Amino acid sequence: MKFCPNSQRIMVYLRSNQKSGTMPTLLKTVIADFRNIVFQELEFSPKINCIWGDNGSGKTNLLDAIYYMSMTKSALGISDSFNFRHGTDAFTISGTYLMQSGLESRFSVGVKKGEEKKLRCDGKNCRIAEHIGRLPAVFVSPSDISLVSDSPEERRRFINSVISQMDQEYMFRLQQYNRLLAQRNALLRDGVGDMSLLAVIDAKMSTLAEGIYERRRDFCEPLAAAVNDCYHRLSNGRESVSVRYRSDLDGTDLETLLQKSIERDRIMKYTTVGVQRDDFLFSMDDYPIRRCGSQGQQKTFLLSLKMAQFELMRTSFGFPPLLLLDDVFDKLDFNRTSNLLKLVSGDDFGQIFITDSNKVRMEKLPSGVTGDRFFFETQNGCFSRTEDMR
């Protein structure tokens, strides 16, 4: 049956349970022309929302639209030019949230080809940099395999997205550093004529790089501990895993490195040292998991990485972030599926969205976790409620 909104019931439930330190809860979303979603208006359970349908029906698009509202970009690294529904040149996503104050806020983001992205909060224009972290979210999907198999850029992008949600100063430093890096590379491409200008850029980059390096280093230690703990709980302690931070700045500063590398940089015509080359090394029993881990072990590691992100963000914010689980139960055995649900379904767990192509499995997943759940069926970018909240 089609979804019949029951806003009053949801709001009574939420406000009766609202307290200091609780997460922003997505009450409703309106999506237009985002990938295969023509127009969709949906209301959600404050606890678990289960979305099932065939592969390619739009389940992932819905979850990515929700993530987009939090981070103003796709969780899958997809360019906005590929987010427009075929034949259109604009899309909009909006969400109504119950905030920690107990009041509702409406956020919307609009993207039109050739124009600047527009973000609004309660009808007022909002800077994207100030918005990041207001609606914290964790997205888990099969595409996370790129964190193991692809270049260091993917791992840096992941780490940056996590820290930026918790630390705006880090995000501002990173943005300034990247702007200076682009200027420096432009000078190198064109042939450095003014060495004094290069020296000024180098000094500014070094100051910013120090803060970025220290924040990544300080973040990596608790991340590594949390990943190993989550992996043990998911796999019942079969192996040990680790995360190690590697940087050009280990034991030195960027300004010194830039001075030593100037001749090489001139030849290569780009900056060859700096935090833009940092990497995060994933290991299992002291061997690179990319080479020694089976597909199952790699998937369990990636789930552990995202659950560690969830736990660290929950500690940082004082409430659990919104959790988006996209087709993560496929090919997991029963024990690992049960262990994953236990990780995210404690007494203080927050709002969760789960997708699966297996209807039977989807119906069984939230059993015993909570009675507050919505089920949605997906067909060609259209979503309909199939069961009322219990």
Are 346 and 23 a contacting pair, CB within 8 Å?
A: no
Q: How far apart are the first and last CA of the chain?
A: 16
Are 375 and 52 a contacting pair, CB within 8 Å?
A: yes
**pTM beyond 0.95:** no
d(CA 26, CA 45): 8
Instruction: Compute how many other C-beta atoms are within 10 angstroms of the C-beta atom of residue 114.
Output: 6
> What is the CB-side half-sphere exposure of residue 127 using CA atoms within 13 A?
4
Rg (CA), the chain: 22
Tokens at 130, concatenated: 């100030």
The predicted structure's pLDDT at residue 212: 98
Q: Which residues in the chain belong to E strands, given as ranges?
A: 25-34, 37-43, 48-52, 90-98, 104-112, 118-121, 124-125, 137-140, 241-246, 279-284, 287-288, 322-326, 352-356, 373-379, 382-387
Amino acid identity at 298: Q
Three-class SS state of 355 = strand
**CA neighbor of 45 nearest in space, from 372, 326, 371:** 372
> What is the CB-side half-sphere exposure of residue 103 using CA atoms within 13 A?
4
pLDDT in tens, the chain (390 residues): 333 334 444 334 334 444 345 689 999 999 999 999 999 999 999 988 999 999 999 999 999 999 999 999 999 989 999 999 999 999 999 999 999 888 999 999 999 999 999 999 999 999 999 999 999 999 999 999 999 988 999 999 999 999 999 999 999 999 999 999 999 999 999 987 778 899 999 999 999 999 999 999 999 999 999 999 999 988 877 789 999 999 999 999 999 999 999 999 999 999 999 999 999 999 998 899 998 888 888 988 999 999 999 999 999 999 999 999 999 877 677 677 777 777 666 656 789 999 999 888 787 776 656 667 899 999 999 999 986 444
Are 307 and 323 a contacting pair, CB within 8 Å?
A: no
The predicted structure's pLDDT at residue 329: 79
Check if 1-136+321-390 and 150-220+235-296 are the same fold. no
Three-class SS state of 78 = coil
- What crossing angle do the helices spanning 195-235 and 152-166 adopt, rounded to 10°? 90
Domain boundaries, the chain: 1-136+321-390, 150-220+235-296
The predicted structure's pLDDT at residue 367: 64
d(CA 88, CA 35): 10
Are 375 and 45 a contacting pair, CB within 8 Å?
A: no
| Chain mean position to CA 50 | 19
d(CA 58, CA 201): 46
**CA neighbor of 383 nearest in space, from 40, 66, 30, 38:** 40
| DSSP characters over 314-325 | HHHHSSPPEEEE
| DSSP characters over 88-142 | -SEEEEEEEEE-TTS-EEEEEEEEETTS--EEEETTEE--HHHHTTSS-EEEE-G
Region of residue 97 (phi > 0: left; psi between -120 and 50: alpha; otherwise: beta): beta
Three-class SS state of 190 = helix
Give me the numbers of helices (H) and strands (E) for the chain, helices first please.
Answer: 12, 15
Q: Which residues pair with 356 in a beta bridge?
A: 52
d(CA 225, CA 228): 5
Among the CATH numbers 3.40.50.11740, 1.20.1050.90, 1.10.1040.50, 3.40.980.10, which is that of 150-220+235-296? 1.20.1050.90
Among the CATH numbers 3.30.450.20, 3.30.70.60, 1.10.730.10, 3.40.50.300, which is that of 1-136+321-390? 3.40.50.300
d(CA 251, CA 217): 12
